[in-house]
Structure 1
């Protein structure tokens, strides 16, 4: 993908979403189990659709509608569960090399921008010997953090890295990632890691779409690859 190679070569700041592009957070401790435990910890009656959800962030959103206290306690419990989950998370193939080699490029930097908690991301990176290769973690710190699709975390990353949107790309695997990138005027690299995602992401006009992180690694290395 010559376009991806050129994009990465021209933009030294490599911003990565965490769950998906770096690892599968809930591969060991399933998202359904996390949602069940989170819902039980909330101590409130849940609507039927939330009782059956496999997305812990659905519960975090609901907690925010109930009260500040419930939102804070729910976010803290989700952070605890995420930290537990990353202990058995499955690394995404080639992602660790993307981080190491992306950071090693002349003038290059790698940062994580995620709706997951900073505590969980930091724990994962340290567990895998990657923390020193990551210039910053821009992620959830509290129940009040504005999460993607809001571009707040991407703007915070640019400020923290002392760089501009014109020097960065953002790789994500969800529609909310692409929406946030578009709002922040950062070219999005859509990681279509499941069937149907290529078509689902097309309306967001990503700068590039990949189906394996090996494509991003090859671009970091400056190699021309075909998909």
Structure 2
């Protein structure tokens, strides 16, 4: 299926009829780890794994990846019960790194996703329930939104489930948890995400999806994953005319 880029009329109509909107955090709301700044956290995790004597659970690609979640998944999937203590240590490291990053990027305008504040305000004026559904720690998302004065617009912030990285997206768990808190089914729910795992999680949860592609790499990834529509900016959604009012 060919992706439709910047189909603002269709996306605006979809959001206008949404019963709730679920935002991924890193990308659709802010750039949590700009310019590869997650790499030191991933390196720290690998050192912890090696020091524990569990380096065998990481393959060559996982030893080079800058995403700390890659290390978490590997330890969870291959480590077994004997590495649960290590997994807890790694999760604490990742959560602390994510919270620190969230507080840092909240103070720098260049890492805020353009027009997202205006889009959130507009959805809130329309009384659309909002949620965050992220593979990051919920504490990190809450820290960022709180510093930006946006947390009050979100009914719930759902993040990585402690102790089970296997439930991170593309598993739909985080979306289903948000919908339970909102007391809504997937019908009429819309997710905004920026990765192929977001596309898959939304499909598995039965939730409509809008891709946010800030650059060509993101657009290609969303297209390959089967996203039907991708916007490259929220500007026209935040500022254009909507059906049924503001």
Decide: shared fold, TM above 0.5. Answer: yes
Partner of 1:32: 39
Partner of 2:180: 159
Deviation at 1:93, TM superposition (A): 1.0
Mapped to 1, the partners of 2:92 and 2:141 lie a distance apart of: 15
Unaligned runs of 5+ in 2: 1-7, 106-110
Partner of 2:164: 144
Paired residue secondary structure (1:14): strand
Q: Aligned-residue CA RMSD in angstroms?
A: 2.0
What CA deviation, in whole Å up to 9, does each residue of 1:132-180 have, x standing for no partner? 1111101114022511001111111111111121221001000000000
What CA deviation, in whole Å up to 9, does each residue of 1:171-203 have, x standing for no partner? 100000000011111111011122143343234
Mapped to 2, the partners of 1:123 and 1:71 lie a distance apart of: 23
Partner of 1:81: 97
Mapped to 2, the partners of 1:47 and 1:94 lie a distance apart of: 40
Pick one of 71, 88, 98 that aligns with 1:59: 71
Pick one of 161, 165, 189 that aligns with 2:210: 189
**Structure 2 residue 126 is matched with structure 1 residue 114:** no
Q: 1:121 to 1:197 in 2, by over 3 A?
A: closer
- After TM superposition, the score normalised by the length of structure 2 is 0.82
8 A Cα contact 1:17 1:172, kept in partner = yes
8 A Cα contact 1:187 1:206, kept in partner = no
Choose 41-50 or 204-213, whichever is displaced more: 41-50
Q: 1:133 to 1:28 in 2, by over 3 A?
A: farther
8 A Cα contact 1:187 1:207, kept in partner = no
Pick one of 23, 26, 42 that aligns with 2:30: 23
Mapped to 2, the partners of 1:194 and 1:210 lie a distance apart of: 10
Choose 138-147 or 11-20, whichever is displaced more: 138-147
Deviation at 1:40, TM superposition (A): 2.6
What CA deviation, in whole Å up to 9, does each residue of 1:7-42 have, x standing for no partner? 111113111000000000012880112212232344
Pick one of 207, 218, 223 that aligns with 1:202: 223
**Structure 2 residue 192 is matched with structure 1 residue 171:** yes
Unaligned runs of 5+ in 1: none
8 A Cα contact 1:63 1:74, kept in partner = no
Deviation at 1:51, TM superposition (A): 3.1
Total equivalences in the alignment: 221
Mapped to 2, the partners of 1:200 and 1:128 lie a distance apart of: 29
